[in-house]
Amino acid sequence: MSNREEVFVFGTGCFWCSEELFKRIIGVTDVTSGYSGGTTDNPTYYRISEGDTNHIEVVRVAFDPDIISREILLEMFLYMHDPTSLDKQQYDEGEMYRSIIFYSTEDQKESIDALFAKVKYEKRYSRPLVTEVRQLEKFYTAETFNQDYYQKNSYQRYCQIIIDPKIESFSSKFKEYLKGKP
Residues belonging to the active site: 14
pLDDT in tens, 82-104: 999 988 888 788 889 999 999 99
Residue 181 has pLDDT above 90, yes or no: no
Going by DSSP bridges, is the β-strand pair 6-12/99-103 parallel, antiparallel, or unpaired? antiparallel
DSSP state of 142: P
Query: Which residue ranges make up each domain of the chain?
Result: 6-177
Of 97, 67, 72, the residue nearest 82 (C-alpha): 97
Residue 171 has pLDDT above 60, yes or no: yes
> What percentage of the chain carries pLDDT values higher than 70?
97
Give mean pLDDT, residues 25-44. 96
| Rounded Cα distance, 171 and 105, in Å | 29
Amino acid at position 47, single letter: R
**Domain 6-177: CATH superfamily, name plus number:** Peptide methionine sulphoxide reductase MsrA (3.30.1060.10)
pLDDT at position 1, please?
46
